[in-house]
Amino acid sequence: MNRPQKAPWYYLLLLILAGESVFILPFVLARVFRPTVLEAFQLTNVELGLCFSVYGIVALVSYLFGGPLADKYPPRKLIAVALWMTALGGLVYATFPSYDVLRILYGYWGFTTIFLFWAAMIKATRVWGGAASQGKAFGFLDGGRGLVGALFGAMGVLIFSIFITGEIAQATVNESKAAFRYVILVSTGMVTIVGILVWFFMRMDKTLERAIVLDKITVSQVKEVLKLPAVGLLMVIILCAYVGYKITDVFSLYAQDVMGYDQVQSAQVGTFLLFVRPVVGVVIGILADRSQTTYWLLVSFIVSFFGALLFATGIITDSSTLLFFISILTVATGVYAARSLYFAVMERGKIPLVLTGTAVGLISLVGYTPDIFAGPAMGYLLDANPGAVGHQHVFWMLAVFSLIGGIAAWFYYTLYRKMKIQA
């Protein structure tokens, strides 16, 4: 079939806005305010990791069934409803529920952010990119999402600091909770507004909309997708890249535990990291379209590996501030570049556009299993070895997964480079 015409530019802007907003409550706030979250909810690192695991288990099932759903229905309605349902969970989050309720809430978010949302977002982005701009489409998507996340993070830090009375370093638990509640409620309101914008404005031409949906998904079509070499390799590539992305959650905690920063300073480190993501996404997207997306995916894992070694070897101390930020930039560049490109290589991997949702669902079934095991693994390593040693172990974990991901990316690069030459 002929590829449908490109969706308008503002369609990608709404995808970017929605693509990060839906994850603000379950992930971005915990990434930027990790020390505050642990204190306010009275959690250990392992317990917070287990909340992420509950999310991951529910998300795993949601990937499988949500993928075909994205091939049957237009993205606009699926995405808007997902945003509104996620925002409802924010109202519960703001009450600082018990640990048991918090785990249920994360399971609920595993459903709302994935079942209706994830595959629909990836498919809509692929449609926008067309045949020649997949790198830019996914680079701009992830970079833009990073900017949205950074702005949410900066806004959260500002709100938190405004509502803390007195010296931040001497704030009581109740004062931190009261300030953080405002952060949660404002974020919830923003997610709701984004859902409204998507519902009314993220429309596409009716012809284009009909061209990218199927009346039904058959077993033979699922088998067709599973037989593609790109699908198996992407399962490994995304799994390894996503472990790296999950590990960026500990940078704010590293700033507190190893560098000796206070709660606001450590949150600012987390927010600084978020501002790196849009720059990396845009740059890597443009570079990828000018050469080969598969090549730059391989490079991203190499950069991530060497960045991980800087932390894992323990050469960064509380007196080496410049090296700390250089190392953060190195890891962030590799991790965010891989995240920007791993779906952009679907076009090179000959995955049919109309079956994108189904392919994304199957790939994600394996690729996003770090949602289940990465949180508890990091929590165990940090709690079993408090301070710098625990963080070094976490970054050895990143180094191992970056190496495995790099090997898989090399196979993907060599396989589809040969196919292109043969064609």
How far lies 347's CA from each of 221, 352, 383, in Å? 18, 8, 42
Structure tokens at 208: 């284009």
Stretch 198-221: mean pLDDT, rounded? 67
Q: Is the pLDDT of residue 263 over 80?
A: no
Integer Cα distance of 122 and 141 in angstroms: 9
Element (H, E) at 179: helix 173-201
Closest among 359, 368, 126, 412 to 224, alpha carbons compared? 359
Give per-residue pLDDT as tens, 92-119.
999 999 999 999 999 999 999 999 898 8
DSSP state of 113: T
Stretch 189-210: mean pLDDT, rounded? 81
Q: Is 193 exposed, middle or buried (0-12, 13-18, 19+ CB in 10 A)?
A: middle
User: What is the per-residue pLDDT for 1?
Assistant: 41
Stretch 333-362: mean pLDDT, rounded? 84
Q: Specify the higher pLDDT residue, 65 or 211.
A: 65
- E strand segments, 250-341: none
Provide the mean pLDDT of the chain: 84
Give per-residue pLDDT as tens, 5-25.
566 778 889 999 999 899 999
DSSP state of 291: S
C-beta of residue 13 within 8 angstroms of C-beta of residue 194: no
How far lies 247's CA from each of 231, 292, 374, 408, in Å? 24, 27, 8, 20
User: What is the per-residue pLDDT for 132?
Assistant: 63
User: What is the per-residue pLDDT for 256?
Assistant: 83
Tokens 């970056």 -> residue: 402
How far lies 400's CA from each of 92, 240, 380, 393, 416, in Å? 37, 9, 17, 11, 25
Closest among 44, 275, 250 to 157, alpha carbons compared? 275
Give per-residue pLDDT as tens, 289-335.
787 888 999 999 999 999 999 999 888 877 677 888 888 899 999 99
CATH dotted code for 9-422: 1.20.1250.20
User: What is the per-residue pLDDT for 365?
Assistant: 86
- Assign 71 a pLDDT band (cuts: 50, 70, 90): confident
Residues 6+ away with beta carbon under 8 Å from 326: 310
Residues 6+ away with beta carbon under 8 Å from 3: 130, 131, 353
Residues 6+ away with beta carbon under 8 Å from 407: none
Integer Cα distance of 247 and 266 in angstroms: 16
User: What is the per-residue pLDDT for 209?
Assistant: 55
Measured in degrees and rounded to the nearest 5, phi and psi for residue 368 equal -105, 20
- Assign 87 a pLDDT band (cuts: 50, 70, 90): very high
How far lies 417's CA from each of 2, 139, 270, 405, in Å? 24, 21, 37, 18
Output the pTM of the full model.
0.77
User: What is the per-residue pLDDT for 2?
Assistant: 47
Give per-residue pLDDT as tens, 371-416.
888 888 988 898 888 888 898 999 999 999 999 999 999 999 998 7
Query: No. of H helices and E strands in the chain?
Result: 19, 0
Integer Cα distance of 261 and 258 in angstroms: 8
User: What is the per-residue pLDDT for 24?
Assistant: 92
User: What is the per-residue pLDDT for 190?
Assistant: 94
